[in-house]
Structure 1
Amino acid sequence: MHISDPHVVLRDNGALLTIANRIDSPDSSARIPLAELDIDDAYRTHRGIVLPLVAASLTTVGCALFGGHYSAGEPLDPVFVFAPHPGFEPTRQ
């Protein structure tokens, strides 16, 4: 399995971590819901928005990606999310 192009989708009742579906949609337009996210902290910096150590749990579809070795709702390692402000250009050192 290859996990690529992660996106965080904000919803009224929480957030969802999706990944590109490279098998059914090689152009990555189709998304697979991998994990439910429980965002309880966020802050802004001059570079963007930070969501530190977001709790994540595997979705039913995510279970299938791991061959059924894990159950839906199984906790995953916390996720760190950084969303840069539009136009932010990181500097190279």
Structure 2
Amino acid sequence: MTKKAVKRRKKRNNHSGMVIIACVVLILCIVLTYNSVQLKERLAADQESVEMLQEDIEEQRELKEALEQKESYMDSEEYKQELAREKLGLAGPNDIIFKKR
């Protein structure tokens, strides 16, 4: 083979190799772009879930506070007297009792 033929063959091989490398790089870019889009969508969904869970946590805190207030009221003497009046029909020492005839 002549030197020119060898040079042509090398150029063709180099050109073919460059085309193959370009295709591989293009495919990698496409795959990475696709995965990036999917990750962004997943991130948005996860952020929405976090926001919903934060709202649930706040609701539970408010419920807990309300229950603690109710518990402290139920432990009070005032609640016990009110319950005795309503459920048991008892009267306090300063209460006036009316009877039906």
Question: Which structure: greater strand fraction?
Answer: 1
Bigger radius of gyration among the two: 2
User: Under a length normalisation based on structure 2, what TM-score does the superposition of the two structures give?
Assistant: 0.15
- Structure with the larger RCO, 1 or 2 (CA within 8 Å, 6+ apart): 1
